Structure 1
């Protein structure tokens, strides 16, 4: 008999004006915080997070204005990282997390690592579903919103250097091309 992956639980943190909605798998092991790119939501991480849940505490967050998280009047990078730090603190993870940022969320992960304890930052840049198997494409559905995208892009530039280990996994959706391999990579980050 094979062990079943951990079940996902959905939670909300904050007040109605700064509400962050997130999914969580597992409670033990290295925490892995998964941040989606602009116009996506936390569901893009479900396949890899389900695989991680048995050995890591995986958390996929809807960034403000995305998915079920509340929109903001302003998307200031300092505020985003502060709110993310408050959420992570509330989770009582007990270890510095690995932050995984897709596309523009890589900048959020990098800025977080400058101010808060972080084990490492993993970035995945760009788009391109050509190599993603058909069953996983449903997890990478963009919901374009030009005003939201523009508000984020204005505040997420320029890039800052981080003092943590950083791995750039290139273009596309490697976590959807092969979720099990991506989960193995995250479990093996030292």
Structure 2
């Protein structure tokens, strides 16, 4: 029996100054781009991506300054959306992606969808109206519904310098009109009756149900 290749592979895109590190699962089906909230990293998506199986091509990206992606002098959301588009285009997936955004990364998801072809945008966990003074004031939410094995993926990183760089991301995303040829379906995990999936980390509370929701967006 020939050994099977690993389902999750890790890759890097860009130069040392703008490097984005991402994990990838699968090569066929609808691309699903998974964006973590600020002060977490791409590992928070491992349980969901594993549940998606071969039905989607999943990509979980570390935002700049998070996980293994390079820190930047400027975290401009428009530039990052452009970098994300170039990364996705380089994967030759040939289908518009579903963009899934946790917390503050909803701003990036909406900016991307306004400029590039997108199948659907799914956001969850509202962003605070005002950013905290320090990352130690962040509300990590109730983890009682998260299986103990997955709680390691819900640990925020305390970095006040990173908070200062991303401060603009705490304002609500601008709902600019998308291109005429890119009218993505926009859903909120809370606002679309998906609150039953669970609080701040619904994708960790019930990874199988969250993956099932993503399959409906194909």
Q: Distance in 1 between matches of 2:156 and 2:61?
A: 16
Partner of 1:106: 106
Q: 1:174 aligns with which of 202, 210, 213?
A: 202
CA RMSD of aligned residues (A): 1.8
Question: What residue ranges of structure 1 are gaps of 5+ in the alignment?
Answer: none
Within a 5 Å distance, the mapping from 1:9-24 to structure 2 comes to 9-24=9-24
Scaled by the length of structure 1, the TM-score of the pair is 0.92
Deviation sequence 1:92-145 (CA, Å, 0-9, x none)? 111000000100001100110000000010001155223212111111121111
Q: How many residues align?
A: 187
Once the two structures are TM-superposed, the CA of residue 158 in structure 1 deviates from its matched residue by: 4.4
- Secondary structure, in 3 states, of the residue corresponding to 1:148? helix
1:81-96 equivalence runs, <5 A: 81-96=81-96
Q: Any idea what SS the aligned residue of 1:34 has?
A: strand
Deviation sequence 1:130-186 (CA, Å, 0-9, x none): 321211111112111112122112256342115421111134111001101110110
Larger Rg computed on CA atoms: 2
Counterpart check, 1:64 vs 2:64: yes
1:136 is matched with which residue? Answer: 150
Gaps of 5+ in 2: 127-139, 179-183, 191-198
8 Å contact kept, 1:108–1:156: no
SS of 1:123's partner is strand
Secondary structure of the residue that 1:139 maps to in structure 2? helix
Counterpart in the other structure of 2:134: none
Q: Distance in 2 between matches of 1:82 and 1:156?
A: 20
Q: Find the residue that maps to 1:117 and give its secondary structure.
A: coil
Q: Which moved more, 1:91-100 or 1:165-174?
A: 165-174
Shift of 1:9: 0.2
Partner of 2:166: 152
Runs of 4+ more than 6 Å apart: none
Write the distance in 2 (CA, Å) between the matches of 1:124 and 1:150: 23
